[in-house]
Chain A
């Protein structure tokens, strides 16, 4: 599997503040990569370094196999990006904004520009918006238009920073469907977000950033792999402890965690002893638990020294 985004020892220093401190990203082709981190953890700075907007203090960035920012002119036309919210010229229509952006760089053919604009507007659900100026759009519409801008040239890689900001729940679901659809078509998606649920539902691979450092980077399936324990739900937790003496790892209310990666075996034992079992499942950690375990306190907190 070839890598689409690779960074090595990426460092960005703003004055005395080290916003990004030695990040080694590795995003493979075909991944939906969730880039998680609290506000101020350095996500946006990293995304800007990937796109050549911010120049690294140290370290390397490789995008689609080529060094950034040197190869920007060759690589960036194959990348679609949404960085820190959409931005448009308010007095122009959505289509005019897309046309101007498309004409501003290489790789946007003039001949089929109108067709491509109509397609992406349909794709993000803005097909009927007409000539209204962007200034009259709602926040959600602007977010969709930003997404449309990123999709204009059928990019191999989408770099999206908080793409569902400002969308209502239906909108979020639509965008999720759209991204999964693109992914099925072979597009690699790099999704930077602070919303765990969004990442959990979409991503195949996760990186977690905490105060400028990468604290975790792994496959989603591995992170949320079964722990080797079974969760039993029963109205009589006391009796479980009696039957499976020594195998009970934790108990709270009607939930008992039992060692043993085979729920059927646990069930057989309990049912054999006449303990009522109302629920039975393999124990998997949630992404939230994984992230909280890896990262420290919120970056917004300012502790007394």
Chain B
């Protein structure tokens, strides 16, 4: 079942178009940065972007930071919103369920497929970022500097970059769970994706609002930028751990909600 969903996901031209579009922005930023040599001022712009001018090997992180606030969640919302609602709209859902693909199994397989999409997307963005960064900027072969000003060896830098890629992927799980839940509520993939995006926009907005500070620790986007903490020395695990736990809770709750709804739903599409 999971294999079927993965196959559907990655044999679909739209999946690869989305990933390609997602990579266009960091590459564009890299080219502009190379041509103008104008780094963002401290405190502005995405994390790691100003450091790229001195070490191109950091561009995978800058690329992730560029797509993280908007592009990546939009892509995940669209793909996850399409998961069940897309099948419903195309009419293939009734054949899947009459086959029978168990409803719970289908839900889990869909989540795994969306997760695979997230991982592949993040890895591709990082890989394209690495190629772009090393082609356009000077890469320091001896490693790099941590955010705290200590030196990192090449291995440490590579290890932490992998951790950051993993963390960014996990950060997208909450969005995916929202998309999947909304996807079981409606037969319109667009409505499901917009629903997930509405949650994200609300979360990002509340995060900036002092009046909402009591709920801030529970917002799905709260710990997204914590991947920067992996490049402090010593690593600051606090927000990373909280971010992982929070995403876990969102996935658990929303998957339960999706299950409660989908397994008792009349499929009339």
Contact = CB atoms under 8 A, between A and B. Distances in A.
A29 B208 CA distance: 67
Given A55-B264, A89-B8, A105 B101 contact: yes
A14 B11 CA distance: 37
B195 to A, nearest CB: 23
Contact of B95 (A54, A81, A90): A81
B100 A72 contact: yes
B267 interface: yes
A56 to B, nearest CB: 10
Instruction: Name the interface size band of chain A.
Output: 20 to 34
A154 to B, nearest CB: 15
Interface string B94-114: 111111111000000000000
A100 B1 CA distance: 9
B90 interface: yes
Contact of B7 (A55, A87, A100): A100
A55 B267 CA distance: 9
Interface in B224-247: none
Given A55-B266, A100-B7, A87 B100 contact: no
B152 to A, nearest CB: 44
B50 to A, nearest CB: 42
Nearest to A97: B92
A77 B100 contact: yes
B108 to A, nearest CB: 13
Q: Find the residue from A52, A53, A86, A96 having the highest chain B CB count within 10 A.
A: A53
Contact of B98 (A45, A53, A90): A53
Interface residues of B, number: 24
Contacts, number: 80
Contact of A54 (B4, B92, B102, B268): B268
B41 interface: no
B266 to A, nearest CB: 4
Interface string A173-190: 000000000000000000
A72 B96 CA distance: 12
Contact of A52 (B90, B95, B100): B100
A152 to B, nearest CB: 9
A104 B99 contact: yes
Contacts of B90: 87-90
Nearest to B3: A103
Given A103-B3, A104-B4, A84 B100 contact: no
B167 to A, nearest CB: 32
A51 B95 CA distance: 10
Given A53-B267, A91-B12, A76 B100 contact: yes
Interface of B: 1, 3-4, 7-8, 11-13, 90-92, 94-102, 264, 266-268
Given A53-B94, A103-B4, 5 more contacts: A51-B97, A55-B266, A77-B100, A90-B90, A91-B13
Interface of A: 14, 45, 48, 51-55, 72-73, 76-77, 79, 81, 83-92, 96, 100-101, 103-106, 149
15 contacts: A45-B268, A51-B97, A52-B97, A52-B98, A54-B267, A72-B102, A81-B98, A87-B95, A89-B12, A91-B12, A92-B11, A96-B11, A101-B95, A101-B96, A105-B101
